[in-house]
Amino acid sequence: MKISYGTLMLVLPMLLAAQQSPVPVEDEPHHHLVLKNDSVMVLRVKLAPGESTLFHTHLHDRMAIYLSNTTVAIQKAGEPEAPPDAMKVGDVVSSESKGPYTHLVHNVGAVDFEVLDVELLHRPTTPPGPAAAKVEAENPSARVYKWTLAPGTTSAMHTHERPYLIISATPLLLKMTDPEGKSMTHEVKPGDFHWIDAKVTHSLSNEGTTVGEIVEIELK
């Protein structure tokens, strides 16, 4: 049977992908470990246009916070590549683990794909407490609160009873104020984050000149 050049170019990537054994997510070359403790593993992912990850396996509940506007296509192990999906800065995708999940990510857009992947290493053993604010997304391990702050605006004062990760999805001059009026101001970049393992009550303010996006991932 004669196979055309065009057909070969379509089939060859799938054949090569099928031959690659999946790796743990932390060993995938485009996933760069930036934090690991007893509760979370945070990986920053960057793919140039046209670039793909290796097939890699996730074992835990997780959250993905998108840091760029681009289009990606996901391919699960043993399946063809799914249709492209457009993502934008500040999008949050929550995933619940139901066993090992193996896939690759293909950047089919025209700009770099960047995402912060937060792997939640343990599910809670006690019932979760009340939510600190409106819940943007959640899975069995954590809740997500998302704050879109126009210049000069401030979020509601809210309390984190559980450890949490605060992430900036955009550049932002961020001011955090406690109930006594004490404040700290930080200039943050997309993907900057901080892990807090203490009870905190604060509000978040945008002291800059452009709209800012803040994501808080709080353990249940």
Q: Residues in the chain, how many?
A: 220
Q: What is the DSSP letter of 29?
A: T
Q: Quick count: other Cβ atoms within 10 Å of Cβ 187?
A: 12
User: What is the pLDDT at residue 129?
Assistant: 86
Token pair belonging to 109: 């857009």
CA distance 191 to 66: 9
Q: Domains (ranges, CATH) in the chain?
A: 22-120 (2.60.120.10), 137-219 (2.60.120.10)
Q: Quick count: other Cβ atoms within 10 Å of Cβ 108?
A: 20
CB 28 within 8 A of CB 56: yes
CA distance 130 to 123: 17
Q: Is 169 helix (H, G, I), strand (E, B) or coil?
A: coil
Q: What is the DSSP letter of 27?
A: G
- What is the dihedral sign for C-alpha 95, 101, 107, 108? negative
Token pair belonging to 198: 């203490």
CB burial class (10 A; 0-12, 13-18, 19+) of residue 69?
Answer: middle
pLDDT in tens, the chain (220 residues): 455 555 444 444 554 444 579 999 999 999 999 999 999 999 999 999 999 999 999 999 999 999 999 999 999 999 999 999 999 999 999 999 999 999 999 999 999 999 999 999 999 999 988 999 999 999 999 999 999 999 999 999 999 999 999 999 999 999 999 999 999 999 999 999 999 999 999 999 999 999 999 999 999 9
Q: Is 142 helix (H, G, I), strand (E, B) or coil?
A: strand
